[in-house]
Structure 1
Amino acid sequence: MNAEAKVILKSTVNENESMFAKVKQHAELIAALLSGVLIAAGWLLDRNELTTSSIVTYLFAFIIGGFAKAKEGIEETIANKELNVEMLMIFAAVGSAIIGYWTEGAILIFIFAVSGALETYTMNKSHKEISALMEIQPEEALRITGGNEEKIHVSKLSIGDLILVKPGERVPSDGKIIKGHTTIDEAAITGESLPVSKDSGDYVFAGTVNLNGSITVEITKPNSETLFQKIIQLVQSAQSEKSPSQLFIERFEGTYVKVVLAVVVLMMFVPHFLLGWSWTETFYRAMILLVVASPCALVASIMPATLSAISNGARHGILFKGGVHLENLSHLKAIAFDKTGTLTKGKPEVTDIIAADGLSKNEILRIASSIESHSTHPLANAIVKYAKENLEESLIHPESIEDVAGWGVKAHIENEEWKIGKAAFVGIEAAQSFKDGAAAKMASEGKTVVFVQKSEEIVAILALQDVVREETKKAIDQLNNQGIYTIMLTGDSRNTGMAIAKESHVHDYIAECLPENKVEHLKNLQEKYGTVAMVGDGINDAPALATANVGIAMGEGTDVALETADIVLMKNDLPRIAEAINLSRKMNSIIKQNVIFSITVIMMLIASNFLQFVDLPFGVIAHEGSTILVILNSLRLLK
């Protein structure tokens, strides 16, 4: 066989496999529809008095439409040693056939099969986002070895390998850029539609798209441990974990089915002797009771809604570790926030420059940043960063420089001595009197003050602060509007805590709070408010996240956050918390609607049956129709 023929054969095989997979995926729905066609055929045959042919056709409708649910019901009964809803439907359909109601029994099977297919569709839909993620991960990578490029499977990549990612390609594994500049689409990881600029030293993640510019990436994790894989595992695990409501319904189902069967058995005899019903009527009413008392809609009230909500969250970068956390989120009364890296950016920024009269702020900033560029202190880095963003002039090189540990930096420029650092380093009295106590005012606002001295005279002060994120105020306002009490926990001083709390719009704050104190304060909040959440970075706040009823980690693409909290925001986007709470509240509202509706329908149908108002066809349609409506209502959460 030549190469071209092999390619054609392989393509044909793949197409056939794809077609078979699609048919298999919709097998329940196809069986249900075929059952419906057979029911229509059986009804026509019966109308033409071809009774035997009609019964045979109905039998095929029973077998084809009911096979999947009957198999599921029998397997679960054997495994759990307990009867379930599926078995009730089997008994009801067989009972209907026994008393000659072949059409009604077949319709029961048909609608039950349709509702089962719809429930399967909901589950498949809820897994769609995860399947899509799994499909977009590249299988091959371009490894660079000794200047040569080699295409290998991603499973063969090792930590330290260098790979080339070209424009338009997906990143095959987690790593750090060592060469090149590009823009990355991280929607698959964070749910954020806007691309992110990446330079040398920045990290990239498997499954994200390199939009422009070739980059050389050093692999930092094996393929099996990438953030991409952990997200997939996390959502799959969440979808398999059942919420407290679902667990209660499943426990209730077993007892309820036994009670229904016991009542049905009594119904077969008691009305005949007490009410004078005929045996046919007694058995008929017992079969209707078996149908209408089945808790199909009640059982389907929760799981489809939970799966839909989890999938909705995953699509928007909100990862729930299970239905229990999603359900608890709607009951929140208070949320505690870590300050650094959560409400704030986590890095100090220059907020104010106050220069002595007659001196240029830009010139002082240029000299100060030129000196600080030789230091690795976070405040020095912030000053240099601010200067590069705001100055057109290039930095200069000091003639000499000395780092005075714990105090500041001393340097000589054009034979003049410059000092940059604390008040005690430049003279406390001079520092306090500069510009009528400007430094004290800055400190009262929670800012860190750096003094600049030239030849024994203070020429400027620079104020720095860990700046509140732009989206923080919006996020806190949304939570406050939802009736949730917000509080900030920080290890910073009272002045800093007060300033950040005021700017963030939180209700209250607790300053000088160590990690162990955070746990104590959370317990106090739980006593006062009940259900309390903690929002942190997932590392330093691990004890507090574990103590809270709901731990919410700010992800920012770190896999550590996936291990520490109940809910992970894949991007440091605080407004997503309000979105998650709204999603949880909507889910619980839909579940309540489903439960109340299904119980109401069951009670009305049971009462109508005892009063002999309802016949079997209507009972079948009303009961199974309510199940379909409940599932359709749950599907709204996928939007």
Structure 2
Amino acid sequence: MEEHVNCQKYEHTPEHTHEHTHNHEHAHGHNHGQSPVVLFFVGLLLFIAGLLLHRVIGEFSNGLFFLVVVFSGYHVIGEGFGDTYRASVAAKKFVPNIHLLMTLAAVGAMLLGNFEEAALLILIFAGAHFLEEYAEGKSRREITNLLNLNPTEAQLLQADGTTKTVSVAKLSIGDRVKVLNGAQVPTDGKIISGTTAIDESSINGESMPKEKTVGDEVFGSTINGSGVITVEVTKDSSDTVFAKILQLVNQSQANLSPTASKIKQFEPRYVSFVLLLLPLIIIAGPFVFQWTWEDSFYRGLVFLISASPCALAASAVPATLSGISNLAKKGVLFKGGAFLANLADLKAIAFDKTGTLTAGKPSVTDFELVVPDAEPLVKEIVYNMERQSNHPLATAIVQYLKDQVTVRELLVENVIGVGLEATVDGNLYQISKPSVFQTVCEEMQTKQQRLANEGKTVIYIGCNQQVIGLIALMDVPNEQAKQAISYFRSQNVRTTMITGDAQLTGEAVGRTLGVDQVIANVLPEEKSKMIDEQKATYGIVGMVGDGVNDAPALVKADIGIAMGDGTDVAIDVADVVVMNNDLEKLSEAYRVSKRLNKIVWQNIIFSMAVVGILVVLNFMGLANITFGVIVHEGSTLVVIVNGLRLLINQK
């Protein structure tokens, strides 16, 4: 069995040291608070008043339109000049933004006396900007709704048996808390009394409640069912599973996709180019297009609006946040949008075996006797012998037989190097490895060899030194892993299982799962070398694991994927965490990644096409400020809504 450390859960620290460093800043969002929104609607009312008075008192209505620009556009103007100044000082070069373009266009329109168009420009741009922020905020709220589940109070048991309501932050390891039916479990702990069913969907995305009893772990933020339980605190409130999930959520929102980062880096260069072209277009207008100077200046303003990259800037961020939030609700946590975007580019994916593709513990696969009629008696004897042992194989056998037999007391001896022995009705029964028995019938030998070739561990059942049956056990592949591997192969992603098990055992599991390649007899320190070889052969490689020995390979891989039930170290260095050890969720993440990349490119192509069409129409004299603003900002809304589709599950 390969080396595997199975800690209770994980304590994730925010530091993430990765050989392939990704530092994609998300500097697109602006949190304006409530005041600009209120002023926006004040400006909207003034605009309506200006339209009603325009034919009656023209000059007065122009004053109202000017106030619209001031009230509805105060944050646009502030970010246009203020952010440009601050960014330029920091970068020691001119770093303009989209807001500056819109501000200059509005000022230019008013200089030409087009106050109504200037007001409309600011109103629609500011409104679209607020809607973009709302869209991004919706995605963030979808993710950070977890915060609403963060428990704040606990019922602390006192020495006299009474309870006292205390802050969760004041709980210490070893404290005992009572959790009433329907209440929230306040922190991570272990049940010391009571039985219940707990809804753990906030932790692992699993909708079905899980039965819990004395000795079982419970996790903060989960919801207790109908039973009343007493829980002993095992972790500080800042180290609970839920607290670590929130850390991952915060990381994912701060680290967005490479496309979003490139667009952000491209934006000031693009805006600078547009500002450079503006005077050239105005000067060239009368000479090339025979425009008047006033028309040329006006066409320059329309160009300023048409060429603004508003929709382009919104192409990636809302979509990436939507994809991350959708997967977070399903129990797949990404430490950044870069990893979600890159997942679709995987060429190969390697899996650790134990605890990742398999359950991580043995299960009985075969129970065969020479004389089948004796099965009820032999099963009863085997069960009552094995239940007195704490060996992992014994635990698996007891679990397999517990519903088939009757409990009886036997005097059992654990003979070192031999196995378990017990005398029942004058007969000596033994449960031992095959090498203990000198004479074995040909039928049992054949079965033992066949099962061993399938990678199973075989133990014999003996009666008076004669083998009367055998039990075969194996760390059984889980169904979700088989489906996930089948899916990745269908997407032409090469699958490899890396295991420390013997070649025979590894190949047997590999055949069951359908992986393309099995690499067995691998020492823990060799796993990262295997990832290097895979990267050199195939390109972008993912690694899935859960143990301490998987950590170097997770770091080495382009995308490291840790199982949520794995060790702290594996989860700390990974880029993606799959809760509930369900690899089907990884398949879903791959599908979302492909949709994300498709939607982002749709948005980029659409937004630049709209810019191109508007610029051409402007030079043809077929576009004005009103038309340019409506079409341009309309394209921004289309792009945002297209990105929000990732919040919806695709059937």
Distance apart, 1:402 and its partner CA: 3.0
What secondary structure does 1:345 align onto?
coil
Distance apart, 1:587 and its partner CA: 1.0
Could you say which residue in structure 1 is the equivalent of 2:13?
none
What secondary structure does 2:70 align onto?
helix
Is the aligned partner of 1:541 residue 2:541?
A: no
Correspondence 1:192-341 to 2 at 5 A: 192-341=206-355
Over the aligned positions, Cα root-mean-square deviation in angstroms equals 2.0
Distance apart, 1:472 and its partner CA: 2.5
Could you say which residue in structure 1 is the equivalent of 2:472?
463
The one-letter code of the counterpart of 2:478 is: R
Could you say which residue in structure 2 is the equivalent of 1:71?
78
TM-superposition CA deviations, 1:283-328 (whole Å, max 9, x none)? 1111111111111111111111111111111111110100110111
The separation in 2 between residues aligned to 1:619 and 1:358, in whole angstroms, is 85
The one-letter code of the counterpart of 1:526 is: K
Q: Is contact 1:177–1:218 with CA below 8 Å preserved after alignment?
A: yes
Distance apart, 1:272 and its partner CA: 2.6
What secondary structure does 1:360 align onto?
helix
> After alignment, is 550-559 or 438-447 more displaced?
550-559
What secondary structure does 1:47 align onto?
coil
Distance apart, 1:440 and its partner CA: 0.3
Could you say which residue in structure 2 is the equivalent of 1:628?
637
TM-superposition CA deviations, 1:393-425 (whole Å, max 9, x none)? 114312x513314x4233333443332221221
| Percentage identity across paired residues of the two chains | 42
Could you say which residue in structure 2 is the equivalent of 1:54?
61
The separation in 1 between residues aligned to 2:210 and 2:36, in whole angstroms, is 43
Could you say which residue in structure 2 is the equivalent of 1:40?
48
The one-letter code of the counterpart of 2:96 is: L
Q: Is contact 2:546–2:571 with CA below 8 Å preserved after alignment?
A: no
The separation in 2 between residues aligned to 1:30 and 1:560, in whole angstroms, is 48
Distance apart, 1:434 and its partner CA: 4.5
Structure 2-normalised TM-score?
0.90
The one-letter code of the counterpart of 1:69 is: V
The one-letter code of the counterpart of 2:492 is: G
Is the aligned partner of 1:412 residue 2:423?
A: yes
The separation in 1 between residues aligned to 2:375 and 2:345, in whole angstroms, is 52
The separation in 2 between residues aligned to 1:527 and 1:87, in whole angstroms, is 46
Gaps in structure 1 of 5+ consecutive residues: 1-22
Distance apart, 1:594 and its partner CA: 0.6
Could you say which residue in structure 1 is the equivalent of 2:593?
584
Q: Is contact 2:444–2:469 with CA below 8 Å preserved after alignment?
A: no
Q: Is contact 1:446–1:499 with CA below 8 Å preserved after alignment?
A: yes
Distance apart, 1:31 and its partner CA: 4.2
The separation in 2 between residues aligned to 1:559 and 1:26, in whole angstroms, is 41
Q: Is contact 1:432–1:440 with CA below 8 Å preserved after alignment?
A: no
Distance apart, 1:362 and its partner CA: 2.8
What secondary structure does 2:54 align onto?
helix
The one-letter code of the counterpart of 2:59 is: T
Structure 1-normalised TM-score?
0.92
Could you say which residue in structure 2 is the equivalent of 1:143?
156
What secondary structure does 1:212 align onto?
coil
Q: 1:496 to 1:27 in 2, by over 3 A?
A: farther
The separation in 2 between residues aligned to 1:319 and 1:100, in whole angstroms, is 53
> After alignment, is 79-88 or 274-283 more displaced?
274-283
> After alignment, is 497-506 or 440-449 more displaced?
497-506
What secondary structure does 1:450 align onto?
strand
Gaps in structure 2 of 5+ consecutive residues: 1-30, 89-94
The separation in 1 between residues aligned to 2:358 and 2:184, in whole angstroms, is 32
Could you say which residue in structure 2 is the equivalent of 1:447?
456
What secondary structure does 2:388 align onto?
coil
The separation in 2 between residues aligned to 1:192 and 1:418, in whole angstroms, is 44
> After alignment, is 228-237 or 537-546 more displaced?
537-546
Could you say which residue in structure 1 is the equivalent of 2:99?
86
The separation in 1 between residues aligned to 2:151 and 2:626, in whole angstroms, is 53
Q: 1:94 to 1:432 in 2, by over 3 A?
A: farther
What secondary structure does 1:127 align onto?
helix
TM-superposition CA deviations, 1:147-178 (whole Å, max 9, x none)? 23222111110011011111100001111111
The separation in 2 between residues aligned to 1:193 and 1:28, in whole angstroms, is 40
Distance apart, 1:274 and its partner CA: 4.5
Q: Is contact 1:402–1:411 with CA below 8 Å preserved after alignment?
A: no
RCO greater where, 1 or 2, for CA within 8 Å and sep 6 or more? 2
Could you say which residue in structure 1 is the equivalent of 2:25?
none
What secondary structure does 1:294 align onto?
coil
TM-superposition CA deviations, 1:159-198 (whole Å, max 9, x none)? 1101111110000111111111110001111111111111
Q: Is contact 2:323–2:647 with CA below 8 Å preserved after alignment?
A: yes
Could you say which residue in structure 1 is the equivalent of 2:22?
none
What secondary structure does 1:347 align onto?
coil
Q: How many residues align?
A: 611
The one-letter code of the counterpart of 2:53 is: L
The separation in 1 between residues aligned to 2:77 and 2:252, in whole angstroms, is 28
One of 347, 363, 386 as aligned partner of 1:349: 363
Q: 1:638 to 1:27 in 2, by over 3 A?
A: farther
